[in-house]
Amino acid sequence: MTTSTPCDLNNLVDNSCAELNFNETGNLTDQIAPDIPYYMLIYVTTINAIILLVGVIGNVMVIIVVVKVKDMRSPMNYYLVSLSVADLLVLLICQPSALAEFYAKSRWYLSETAYSTIEH
C-alpha cells in the first residue's frame, strides 16, 4: 500500500507519506527501512547504555554530595545541582526516546505529543 500525499516529518506519525511503502500492519517495508546490522545494534545500544549509566550516576553523586556535606552548600554548588538536575532530565527523557527512534526504523511508536516535543 502506498500513499500519495507529500512527504515530510509530520506525516510519519499518521503514515501518510507518499514516498514510503507500508505493509498491511502499518510498518515500513524493507525497501525503505532495511534491516540494521546486528553489530550496529549492539554498538549503539552499548554506547547509549554507558552514556545513560555514567550520566545518571555522576549527576546523582553531585546532588548527594551537595545535599549531605554542609561545607559544599554554596551558591556555586547550588547552581551545579540545578545543572545536574537538568542533565538528569535530559538523560532520562532523551536517551530512551533516541533509542526508541533508532530501533523503530523510521516509524514513530510514541505518542503524537511526544513527537511534537522532540520534533527536529
Domain regions of the chain by residue span: 35-104
Instruction: Express each pLDDT in 50-92 by its tens digit.
Output: 999 999 999 999 999 999 999 999 999 999 999 999 999 999 9
Residue pair 55/84 in contact by the 8 Å Cβ criterion: no
- By C-alpha distance, which of 11, 113, 95 is closest to 46? 95
Tell me which of 24-33, 36-45, 48-57, 99-108 is least confident: 24-33
Burial class (CB in 10 A: 0-12, 13-18, 19+), 27: middle
CA 32, distance to chain mean position in Å, is: 21
Q: In this predicted structure, what is the pLDDT of residue 70?
A: 93
DSSP 34: P
**pTM for this structure?**
0.62
Determine what percent of the chain falls in helix, strand and coil, rounding each to the nearest 5: 60, 5, 35
**Minimal CA–CA distance to 118: which of 99, 42, 32?**
99
User: pLDDT band at residue 102, thresholds of 50, 70 and 90?
Assistant: confident
Task: Quote the pLDDT of residue 5.
Answer: 45
